[in-house]
Amino acid sequence: MTEVLLAAIVGFLITLVIQVYAAAIVLRCMPSLLARFPHSFLGGIGILATAVLILFAASFLQIVIWATLFLFSDNFESFRNAVYHSAVNFSTLGYGDIVMTGYWKLLGPLEAVNGVLMLGLSAAILSSVLQRITDRIVSLKE
């Protein structure tokens, strides 16, 4: 049980660092991107799409981190199955077609909690990006 909780803590910390780093990239790039596309609707879409892609890549990397932790449980024969199971947990989809055994089962719900928090942070970051784009467009029309 201790090794499961230790694995979960490691997973939480690594994914938090990844998420914070992705947020910093998105939010630091905003001023320069807004300056390049000050009043373009398509520019705003491009900026938002860039933010989505960065945050998606960060989420996928977090899924891969959890999948790597799952491999230590000896519940998976392939990395592909571990990534699939991790994606199902992280997104809280919860198919249930693959279930870990023993006390390692606890990692699934812990990853789901982590996924909800990290995806919620991504949604907040995207909301901030959209607000900045909207504010910029409105201020230029005044």
pTM: 0.88
Q: Report the top-level CATH class of 2-141.
A: mainly alpha
How many angstroms from the chain centroid is the CA of residue 73? 23
100 sits in the region (left: phi over 0; alpha: psi -120 to 50; else beta) called: beta
**Three-class SS state of 134:** helix
Helical axes 79-90 vs 41-71, angle rounded to 10°: 120
Q: How many CA atoms lie within 13 A of 8 on its CB side?
A: 19
Domain spans, the chain: 2-141
> What is the chain's pLDDT, residue by residue, as a tens digit (142 residues)?
788 889 899 999 999 999 999 999 999 988 887 777 766 777 888 889 999 999 999 999 999 999 999 988 888 989 999 999 999 999 998 887 778 888 888 888 999 999 999 999 999 999 999 888 888 777 766 6
